[in-house]
Amino acid sequence: MSKHVAVLLGGWSAEREVSLRSGEACAKAAESVGYRVSRVDVGRDIAQVLTELKPDVVLNALHGPFGEDGTIQGVLEILGIPYSHSGVLASALAMDKAQAKIVLAAHGVPVPPGRLVTRAEAARAHVLPRPYVLKPVREGSSVGVSIVNEDQEHPPQELNRPDWPHGELLMAESYIPGLELTCAVMGGEPLDVIEIQSAVRFYDYEAKYAPGGSVHILPARILPNIYQKVRMLAARAHEALGCRGISRADFRYDDTTGDESGLFCLEVNTQPGMTETSLVPELAAHAGHSFGELVRWMVEDASLDR
């Protein structure tokens, strides 16, 4: 009898629409390779829904808070249902940009210089020499990210919005010019490296998910030693945070340096997107894995965080 796979999708974070697309793509792929699939648009009654559904495995296609920050992983641990991707601690660590940077730096993964600031502080005056980047400390998919340019006299005005939905803590980081690079890790082994050319200055939400928003160059056009350094650092970051299954590490590389000193890890994604424009399926295909095989691997790799 084929496994019953519950695909968790949707939810209520700012990344709901992306999760719906990721989840539907994964559900169709899981059905195509023979699994019995239930699509679950996650609400706050998820524990009751899964208790009644009784799946063998959960394929987690949620993005953002509650879906990839250790919260849903804790629920699945309590219910005793094996699930894909990282466990409670790794998910919580990777989602918190400030804590993740501390762990990564301690394990020799270079991260951009910066500091944690409050929204009020960032809205009042420049918190770093320009140019710099402001990121909500617990969001994904570049939601709420701003680049403060050299000639920008005042901080981003949207920080003053009374309905600002992205939390009161921000990570301020020096802007790293140059190339946007990413590398996935699958079962502890790094895949190849993609260079991302965005239609805008940085790889924002629109560039990530809108058709034509970016161009992916695979393999990345960088020196062989830098290419292998990216792969090594992606694997090291995956291990340092305690990730399992598939993760994706994002980098910036100032190629004007000509050496490894210009390479910085921006963050590690424990629940990479699985949409038609997503990077991990493209990297897996380059390594010889069809999308159906990738989804089968995730299902069979699912476990509890023990």
Of the residues 138, 248, 252, 296, only one is catalytic, namely 248
- Each residue's pLDDT tens digit, 223-240: 999 999 999 999 999 999
What H or E segment, with its residue span, contains residue 79?
A: helix 71-79
- What pLDDT, in 10s, does the model give residues 236-294? 999 999 999 999 999 999 999 999 999 999 999 999 999 877 999 999 999 999 999 99
231: annotated active-site residue: no
Q: Are 191 and 284 spatial neighbours (Cβ–Cβ below 8 Å)?
A: yes
Q: Are 240 and 274 in contact (CB under 8 A)?
A: no
Whether 273 is a known active-site residue: answer yes
Q: Examine the residue annotation and report whether 239 is marked as an active-site residue of this protein.
A: no
When pLDDT is cut at 50, 70 and 90, the band that residue 198 belongs to is confident
User: Mind listing the pLDDT tens digit for each residue in 239-251?
Assistant: 999 999 999 999 9
Q: How far is Cα 227 from Cα 305, in angstroms, rounded to an integer?
A: 32
Structure tokens at 180: 């946007």
Catalytic residue among 13, 15, 21, 227: 15
- pLDDT for 213: 67
pLDDT band at 202 (very low <50, low <70, confident <90, very high): low
Helix (H) or strand (E) holding 133: strand 132-136
Average pLDDT over all residues of the chain: 93
> pLDDT band at residue 212, thresholds of 50, 70 and 90?
low
- Which of 4, 94, 89, 46 is closest to 306 using CA atoms? 89
Known active-site residue 225: no
Looking at residue 206, its pLDDT comes to 54
Q: Which of 83, 132, 175, 209 is catalytic?
A: 209
Which residue among the candidates 13, 84, 142, 269 is catalytic per the annotation?
Answer: 269
Tell me the mean pLDDT in the region 72-98: 97
For 186-206, letters b (16+ CB in 10 Å) and e give: beeebbbbbbbeeeeeebbbe
Please report the pLDDT score of residue 183 as a whole number: 98
Is the pLDDT at 301 greater than 70? The verdict is yes
Whether pLDDT at 207 is above 70: no
When pLDDT is averaged across residues 85-95 and rounded to a whole number, the result is 96
Residue-level pLDDT at 141: 62
- The secondary structure of the chain in percent helix, strand, coil, rounded to multiples of 5, reads 35, 25, 40
Q: Which of 204, 267, 282, 305 is catalytic?
A: 267
Span of 103-107, 127-131, 187-191, 202-206 with lowest mean pLDDT? 202-206
For residue 168, pLDDT over 80 is answered with yes
Is residue 267 part of the annotated active site? The answer reads yes
The length of the chain, given as a count of residues: 306
Name beta bridge partners: 116.
171
Write the CB contacts of 303 (distance below 8 Å, at least 6 apart in sequence): 82, 83, 244
**Beta-strand relationship, 214-217 and 169-174:** unpaired
Query: Is 150 among the catalytic positions?
Result: no
* Rounded Cα distance, 197 and 188, in Å: 27
What pLDDT, in 10s, does the model give residues 32-49? 999 999 999 999 999 999
**CA of 183: how far to CAs of 55, 219, 231, in Å?**
31, 10, 6
Q: What is the DSSP letter of 160?
A: G
Catalytic residue among 67, 140, 262, 273: 273
| pLDDT tens digits for range 118-149 | 999 999 999 999 999 999 998 776 788 999 99
What per-residue confidence (pLDDT) applies to 200?
60
Residue ranges of domains in the chain, CATH in brackets: 4-84+294-301 (3.40.50.20), 93-112+177-270 (3.30.470.20), 114-174 (3.30.1490)
Q: CA 219, 144, 86, 4: dihedral to nearest 10 degrees? A: -100
Longest dimension (CA), the chain: 64
From 13, 19, 91, 141, active-site residue: 141
